[in-house]
Amino acid sequence: MSAPQAHITVLLNEAVDALAIRADGVYVDGTFGRGGHSRAVLERLGPQGRLIAFDRDPVAIAAGQALGNARLTLVHSAFGDLDAQLDALGVARVDGVLLDLGVSSPQLDDASRGMSFRFDAPLDMRMDTSRGQTVAEWLAEATVGQITEVIRDYGEERFAYAIAKAIAAARAGGAVATTGQLAAIVEKAVRTREPGQHPATRTFQALRIFINQELEELTRVLPACVARLVPGGRLAVISFHSLEDRIVKRFMRDESRPPVFPARLPIRAADLPPPRLRLVGKAVRPSGAEVAANPRSRSAVMRVAERTEASA
C-alpha cells in the first residue's frame, strides 16, 4: 500500500486573490477540507473579519476546530444548506464565497473511506460518515436500470449497462461490499479503456458523486451564493470534472446576461432587468509548475463572477 499523499490545496493563491478580500469582510469557504484556502483567507482578514467554513466530513471539521481561530465559524453541513445555515448564524449577506468541489486527497488516501480502488476496503464513499447510505448498501438494493443510469450519467461511462449487469450477477452470490470486489467486477465488464486509466475509474467517480449528491448540492448552492453576496462580492468555484464545470459555467453565463423574454413582448433592451453577476476574467487553470508538483490538480478549472447592484 502506498503512503497517503499529503493534501495540497489547488489554485491556492489564485482562488484567494479572486475573492478580493476586504479585511473586515465576511466570507464563506464552502469546502473546508484541510483548511488550505481557509488559512489563506484568515491571513488576509483583519480582527473584525469573519470566515464561515462548511464541510460535511467530520474529520475536516475536527481539523478546523484544531485551528482555534475565533474568526472562524465551522459548520458541519453540506454547502447545499448554505441558506439555512447562514440564517441560523444570523448572517444575511457575505462578501465572498469559495467552493472547491470534489473529493480531497485525504479522503481518497484514507482506505477506510472506500473511495479508491487502490485499496481493498469497505465500499462506503460517503463524505459525511455520520449519516446516509453507503455505496455498498445502495448497490445491494438498486435495480440494473438504476445502476446503469448512475454510472452512465455521473461517470460518462459507455459500458454502464454491462457493468450494472455484472454487479447484479455478482451480488447474487453475496454482497458487493468492498472496493476490491467492485473494481474486479468492473475490470471484467469493461472491454477497453483509455491508456493509463483503470477500468473502474469512471464507475467509482459516478458512485461517489451519486451517493453524496454532489451535482444536486452544487445546483442548490449556486443561486443561494448569488442571493447572499453583497454588490461587489465575489463567487469563485473550482471544479475538477466536466459535469461540475458545465453546471458552473452555464449558471454564471446565464446570471451574467439579461433575462430572455418572448420576442413578441414589447420590451426595450434598455428596460430589461440587469443581470445579477458580472464575469471576472477567463477560466483559470493550474500552471505547469503546479501540475508537476501536484498531478491531481491537472483537471482543475476555476471560474469567478462578481455580484452586481441588481436586485434578486
Helices (H), ranges, 229-279: 242-255
Residue among 210, 197, 228, 50 nearest 133 (CA): 210
pLDDT tens by residue, the chain, 312 residues = 334 445 678 999 999 999 999 999 999 999 999 889 999 999 999 999 999 999 999 999 999 999 999 999 999 999 999 999 999 999 999 999 999 998 877 777 777 788 788 889 999 999 999 999 999 999 999 999 999 999 999 999 999 999 999 999 999 989 999 999 999 999 999 977 777 788 999 999 999 999 999 999 999 999 999 999 999 999 999 999 999 999 999 999 999 987 666 666 666 655 667 899 999 999 999 999 999 998 888 899 999 999 999 775
Task: Please tell me the CATH code under which domain 129-211 is placed.
Answer: 1.10.150.170
CA angle 203, 204, 207 (to 5 degrees): 85
The dihedral region occupied by 243, where left means phi > 0, alpha psi between -120 and 50, and beta the remainder, is: alpha
Q: Which residues are annotated as a binding site?
A: 35-37, 55, 79, 100, 107
Q: Model-level pTM?
A: 0.89
Q: Which three cell numbers stand for residue 260?
A: 430572455
**What is the third-level CATH fold of 12-106+214-307?**
Rossmann fold (3.40.50)
The domain ranges of the chain are 12-106+214-307, 129-211
Q: Which residues are annotated as a binding site for S-adenosyl-L-methionine?
A: 35-37, 55, 79, 100, 107
Q: Is the dihedral of CA 130, 136, 141, 142 positive or negative?
A: positive
Position 258 scores a pLDDT of 74
Cα-based distances in Å from 182 to 115, 169, 204: 11, 12, 9
Residue with cell 474568526: 71
Distance of alpha carbon 66 from alpha carbon 61, whole angstroms: 9
